[in-house]
Amino acid sequence: MPKPAIKTAKPPSRRSPCPVSCALDIFGDRWTLLVIRDLMLGRSRFKDFLASPEGIPTNILTERLKRLLEHCVVTQVSATEGSKHLAYQLTEKGHSLLPIVKAMKDWGLTWEKGTRVGIA
């Protein structure tokens, strides 16, 4: 099965060509990696992200999903066959963030007392 074509949009303006800076422009805020975490945990619908314990506001969630779509980290799909509802899924680019999320989880478990794996 061929890989889906990745949309190539006009690249966004950047503060600098530094790869760390560019990565932070995409997912270096308070909420975006939590949305990516939720996608990695199998959540896919807008309402699923809203149900996470961190309590992301709807306007911020909308903006973060838009940014992830623009940067081809996620793609929109039909929630179920024939459904009008949309869901989100990680692209290959999005899945490549797994080691970063795992490293952050491991760091938190090691250095932040009271943290635990899994969310309700």
DSSP code at position 55: -
What pLDDT digit, counting tens, does each position of 87-113 carry?
999 999 999 999 999 999 999 999 999
Q: Rounded to 5 degrees, what are φ and ψ at 91?
A: -85, 180
CATH for 19-111 is 1.10.10.10
β-pair partners for 87: 77
Tell me the pTM: 0.85
> What ranges make up the beta strands (E) of 1-120?
74-78, 86-90
Largest separation between any pair of C-alpha atoms in the chain:
46
| Cα–chain center distance at 113 | 25
In this predicted structure, what is the pLDDT of residue 4?
A: 54
In this predicted structure, what is the pLDDT of residue 83?
A: 80
For residues 58 and 16, give the distance between their C-alpha atoms in angstroms, rounded to a whole number. Answer: 30
Q: Which residues does the chain have with pLDDT short of 70?
A: 1-12, 119-120
**Residue 69 and residue 76 in contact, taking contact as beta carbons nearer than 8 Å:** yes
In this predicted structure, what is the pLDDT of residue 84?
A: 85
Q: Are strands 74-78 and 86-90 parallel, antiparallel or unpaired?
A: antiparallel
Nearest residue to 77 via CA among 86, 68, 85? 86
Q: CA torsion sign, 94 to 99 to 105 to 111?
A: negative
